[in-house]
Amino acid sequence: MLKKWKTLIATLVLTWFLAGAIPAQAFDDHDRDRDRKCEQRIRNAEDKLRDAERKHGEHSRQAQKRRHDLEEARERCHHGDHDRDHDRR
């Protein structure tokens, strides 16, 4: 009887440990995916800014708008990183 209890407790502890490791990996994958999307958004905004500067000039309103869009993309990424760091503490 005592052996059954030891086996049951060991199984529960192992299950608890493994169950805790799986969500951590899922969160890491989600963070990496979010970082990739964030970097892509910034690259796209940079490309659009370069195109606007080439087509309309560096000080055109189109370039100003694209510059603003780039800053917003960077801010969103920075703000998202800050929120994740805060949540992990």
Task: State how far the alpha carbon of 83 is from the alpha carbons of 35, 43, 88, in Å.
Answer: 13, 22, 9
pLDDT (0 to 100) of residue 89? 43
pLDDT (0 to 100) of residue 22? 63
pTM listed for this prediction: 0.59
pLDDT along the chain (89 residues), means of 10: 82 77 67 91 97 96 97 90 47
Q: Quick check: 12 and 30 in contact, CB under 8 A?
A: no
pLDDT (0 to 100) of residue 24? 62
pLDDT (0 to 100) of residue 59? 96
